[in-house]
Amino acid sequence: MFISKSFIPILKNNPSEAKIKSHQLMLRVGMIKQSSAGIYSWLPLGFKVMKKIEQIVRDEQNKIGAQEILMPTIQSSEIWKESGRYEDYGEEMLRIKDRQDREMLYGPTNEELVTDIFRSSVKSYKSLPQLLYHIQWKFRDEIRPRFGIMRCREFYMKDAYSFDVNDEEALFSYNKFFLSYLKTFKRLDLTAIPMAADTGPIGGNLSHEFIILAETGESKIYTDKRIFDLKSDGTKIEKNSLNDLRKKYEQFYSVTDEKFKKDEFEKKVDESNRLKTKGIEVGHIFYFGDKYSKPMGCSVDLPGGKKDFVKMGSYGIGVSRLVGAIIEAKYDEKNEIMKWPISIAPYEVAIIPMINKNDTSSLKKANDINLEFQKHNIETIIDDTDENFSSKVKKMNLIGAPFQIIIGKHTEGDLLEFKETGKESKKINLAEIIKIIRTQKIKN
Amino acid sequence: MFISKSFIPILKNNPSEAKIKSHQLMLRVGMIKQSSAGIYSWLPLGFKVMKKIEQIVRDEQNKIGAQEILMPTIQSSEIWKESGRYEDYGEEMLRIKDRQDREMLYGPTNEELVTDIFRSSVKSYKSLPQLLYHIQWKFRDEIRPRFGIMRCREFYMKDAYSFDVNDEEALFSYNKFFLSYLKTFKRLDLTAIPMAADTGPIGGNLSHEFIILAETGESKIYTDKRIFDLKSDGTKIEKNSLNDLRKKYEQFYSVTDEKFKKDEFEKKVDESNRLKTKGIEVGHIFYFGDKYSKPMGCSVDLPGGKKDFVKMGSYGIGVSRLVGAIIEAKYDEKNEIMKWPISIAPYEVAIIPMINKNDTSSLKKANDINLEFQKHNIETIIDDTDENFSSKVKKMNLIGAPFQIIIGKHTEGDLLEFKETGKESKKINLAEIIKIIRTQKIKN
């Protein structure tokens, strides 16, 4: 992609309305544009990142055998009256009357709708377990939307639902998602820690939030540091292995604000291992048994001929929120340098040729290099404008391709000035550069 | 995918509420489930098809240099008041008040919002042309939703917008989409004919609908048969080549109801070439100049220092509607046989083993074949249930994988019973089968 043809409207300075760094960067570099309070359009740069995150989330859902569906954004109020949540949900639910004066709403979550789908489709324990997920826009009418896409009103979310015949099987499903989430965040180059959490309006009695550390986080967290060294590698999708994984994490004290008890923290965690900090919630999983299946009459035939309500859990990842969370975790605000993890980078390499009116040889070289990258499926962005060199580098540091190639008058022969964004450059040839980038891509 | 683990709730009979064959098949085979009037959930089978269609649409947009963005579903009424369409749009617009009592709406289309994005981002003719598109849910509050997803309320649509400095460049953009649409529909194995059309509430004076023939279509069409023999092959993305392409199509009389004039039809088309029939609209493109840019003050600096309003067009494809339209075009209702084009088939091969209580050797063979297919990235669905054989075949005929393999007691040695769905079977070995399927995939 050539900058001159791209739709990447970059601002000279940080917009004053943005208070946290993800909001600043996203507006500054034209990833998003606000369309009304708490509602954003995603411009090409932001869209590319979000789609890549979505694809990783999808891939890790598929790997545990979850099947993708897509529920609509607009729901009827009927099913929410069945579950009893229509009144409870309060003003965050965007309530709508259609032209026939029917009570509708913009779904803030989908427990009711997926239960309705399930009860009319599945009749026997033989068809269980079922794991269904969708990635869809949701709406929560926040009273004070803020922090850009971190606390907005219309947001993009993956929510999954599990259906099982009994508690034991349901916990097996729960643990599959527990593993899937650890793997998903790892592929996004995030260290996300599962923490015991309150269940809030979703309900139930078993729940984990997945939190990444960030000063701007809204969740206070209290944890044993050693939890950051744990790994999920080698875990198999079978009951014992998954149980062991959850136990391994649960041996360390690690809770959010609502569950925090000072005594317990100090008793269970040595002073040297105590960590009190802030974090951003990027995922949340719940087990709530028959909380929805019972009032909504969602049961299956059991082996002996009896019936029972299915046992359900739900599992969310904020896909649009992750874009902001990753910026919070990765953006070097002071030096204005963003380096996206290569797995979700909008472009993998930025090519910055110095261009003068009388000398476009650098641009020609950039084009040749670009053709070579295309052959290797490496995505590039090339600054083909005649702006001065330092403003070009500044721009590319914000766009955040993880690698940069600089082509100037000192570029001679086969050697190119190549660097990881934000680090020192070295002179190597194109074949070596391609090898480095491809190796990085395979790892992630 | 094994049928026993899948979420494909199949009905024994056609549901009585469905009047047209796409609606019947989609409910029957569990592709969709209605959640409220004119609003549907997409279950795994329907979702897979829709996603593949979406990907082809996306790919052909990218090929003409359009950049993908994503605008939100909920819009502010402000911009619609600026363009003057807020009152005009009538009751089909779903109007919403949020908790702060602000007037919002669920976007039925996006001319206003994209113009708002553009005017705050682009200031100079140097950044033109720009082609922006998004694929997003829309809502039109139909008074009588019917025919399943063909005339529903919440629907999935690709809409693109072009921005140019003058009419000549704008027509170049228009023609790029003209070509892109012909190619898109061809990859979906549809013959879609561009027809001069009225512009309706979008406005402007140049417009084509892309229509496929189907008895259940809501559009009456009058055309010169010879238009069906035209091809876009060899057209280049340059002004003259694209102009020639449009002229080639426009030489033949071909209009929808609103533009039909009997005299003209009879004068321009020999009786032997006249075709009066019905069709389904699957795409619609518009050129409308400064209809939105002028009232919304969206202008750019011109070379000489003056300013002018940008010239815009818009370009829609109904992605969810295409799922239904393809069924209307391809489903053999009488014999209850669906065969999806391989480019968008939910599965590429169905494997149907005969399974008895005492003999599961066919299932074992099916598993082995499946592993081989996986190595070649061929997607399979296997009926691993112990239902009787004829009901298994019936089910697979509805699911519509374009190829079937039957494994029964007559399957001996290396030879397998293989067929194109709905055709005669032949006995060939697995290597040959893989070759046939891969060849088909590459072609499409």
Please determine, for residue B215, whether its predicted confidence score (pLDDT) is greater than 90.
Answer: no
Query: B321 and B362 in one domain?
Result: no
Query: A286 and A181 in one domain?
Result: yes
Chain A contact set for B122 (CB, 8 A): 7, 9
Residue B344 forms part of a structural domain: no
The mean pLDDT value for A351-369 works out to: 90
Please determine, for residue B199, whether its predicted confidence score (pLDDT) is greater than 80.
Answer: no
Please determine, for residue B185, whether its predicted confidence score (pLDDT) is greater than 70.
Answer: yes
Q: B36 touching A, CB under 8 A?
A: yes
Please, how many CA atoms are within 13 Å of residue B9, restricted to the half-sphere of its CB? 16
Chain A contact set for B4 (CB, 8 A): 126-127
* Overall residue count recorded for chain A in this entry: 444
Query: A355 and A312 in one domain?
Result: no
Please determine, for residue A265, whether its predicted confidence score (pLDDT) is greater than 90.
Answer: yes
Chain A contact set for B41 (CB, 8 A): 69-72, 113, 117
Chain A contact set for B44 (CB, 8 A): 67-69, 132
Interchain pair A7, B104: CB under 8 A = no
Query: B159 and B209 in one domain?
Result: yes
- Total domains in the fold of chain B: 2
Interchain pair A47, B69: CB under 8 A = yes
The mean pLDDT value for A92-112 works out to: 97
Residues of chain A above pLDDT 90, percent:
87
Residues of chain B above pLDDT 90, percent:
87
Q: A117 touching B, CB under 8 A?
A: yes
Please determine, for residue B444, whether its predicted confidence score (pLDDT) is greater than 70.
Answer: no
Query: B376 and B287 in one domain?
Result: no
Residue B86 forms part of a structural domain: yes
Residue A3 forms part of a structural domain: no
pLDDT in tens, A30-52: 999 999 999 999 999 999 999 99
- Low-confidence winner among A231-240, B340-349, B356-365 (lowest mean pLDDT): B356-365
Candidates B36, B136, B137, partner chain A, best to mutate (most A CBs within 10 A): B36
Query: A348 and A308 in one domain?
Result: no
Last residue of a domain, one of A330, A353, A380: A330
Question: Domain range spanning residue A383?
Answer: 337-443
Chain B contact set for A73 (CB, 8 A): 73, 137, 154
B39: closest CA of chain A, how far (Å): 7
Residues of chain B above pLDDT 70, percent:
98
Residue B334: per-residue pLDDT: 95
User: Which chain A residue shows the shortest CA-CA distance from B40?
Assistant: A72
CB B131 within 8 A of CB B162: yes
CATH code where residue B178 lies: 3.30.930.10
Last residue of a domain, one of A314, A330, A346: A330
Chain B contact set for A67 (CB, 8 A): 6-7, 44
Interchain pair B74, A139: CB under 8 A = yes
Interchain pair A41, B71: CB under 8 A = yes
Query: B387 and B308 in one domain?
Result: no
CATH code where residue B359 lies: 3.40.50.800
Query: A278 and A427 in one domain?
Result: no
Residue A259: per-residue pLDDT: 85
What is the value of pTM for the model shown? 0.96
Portion 390-429 of B in contact with A at CB < 8 A:
none
Query: A267 and A409 in one domain?
Result: no
Q: B30 touching A, CB under 8 A?
A: yes
Average pLDDT taken over every residue of chain A: 94
User: Which chain B residue shows the shortest CA-CA distance from A154?
Assistant: B72
What ipTM describes this predicted complex?
0.96
B195: closest CA of chain A, how far (Å): 31
Q: A139 touching B, CB under 8 A?
A: yes
Q: B47 touching A, CB under 8 A?
A: yes
Interchain pair A120, B33: CB under 8 A = yes
Residue A12 forms part of a structural domain: no
A83: closest CA of chain B, how far (Å): 16
Interchain pair B78, A113: CB under 8 A = no
Residue A197: per-residue pLDDT: 78
Portion 55-114 of A in contact with B at CB < 8 A:
65, 67-76, 78, 91-92, 94, 96, 98-100, 102, 104, 106, 113
Residue pairs spanning A and B at CB distance below 8 A: 154
Residues of chain A above pLDDT 70, percent:
98
Query: A307 and A428 in one domain?
Result: no
Last residue of a domain, one of B330, B364, B389: B330
The mean pLDDT value for A42-71 works out to: 98
Q: B153 touching A, CB under 8 A?
A: yes
Which among A42, A116, A126 has CB closest to B70?
A42
Three-state SS string over chain A comes to CEHHHCCCCCCCCCCCCCCCHHHHHHHHCCCEEEEECCEEEECHHHHHHHHHHHHHHHHHHHHCCCEECECCCEEEHHHHHHHCHHHHCHHHCEEEECCCCCEEEECCCCHHHHHHHHHHHCCEHHHCCEEEEEEEEEECCCCCCECHHHECCEEEEEEEEEEECCHHHHHHHHHHHHHHHHHHHHHCCCCCEEEECCCHHHCCCEEEEEEEECCCCCEEEEEEHHHHHCCCCCCCCCHHHHHHHHHHHHCCCEEEHHHCCHHHHHHHCCHHHEEEEEEEEEEEEEEEECCCCCCCCCEEECCCCCEEECEEEEEEEEHHHHHHHHHHHHCECCCCECCCCCCCCCCCEEEEECCECCECHHHHHHHHHHHHHHHCCCCEEECCCCCCHHHHHHHHHHHCCCEEEEECCCCCCCCEEEEECCCCEEEECHHHHHHHHHHHHHHC
Residue A7 forms part of a structural domain: no
Query: A435 and A293 in one domain?
Result: no
Q: B169 touching A, CB under 8 A?
A: no
Which among A42, A78, A130 has CB closest to B7?
A130
- Low-confidence winner among A4-13, A192-201, B104-113, B301-310 (lowest mean pLDDT): A192-201
Query: A352 and A280 in one domain?
Result: no
Residue A6 forms part of a structural domain: no
User: Which chain B residue shows the shortest CA-CA distance from A131?
Assistant: B7
- Low-confidence winner among A198-202, A354-358, B299-303 (lowest mean pLDDT): A198-202
Element (H, E) at B395: helix B389-399
pLDDT in tens, A277-317: 999 999 999 999 999 999 999 999 999 889 999 999 999 99
Interchain pair B41, A91: CB under 8 A = no
Residue B385 forms part of a structural domain: yes
Label residue A122 left, alpha or beta by phi (over 0 means left) and psi (-120 to 50 means alpha).
beta
Interchain pair B41, A5: CB under 8 A = no
Residue A5 forms part of a structural domain: no
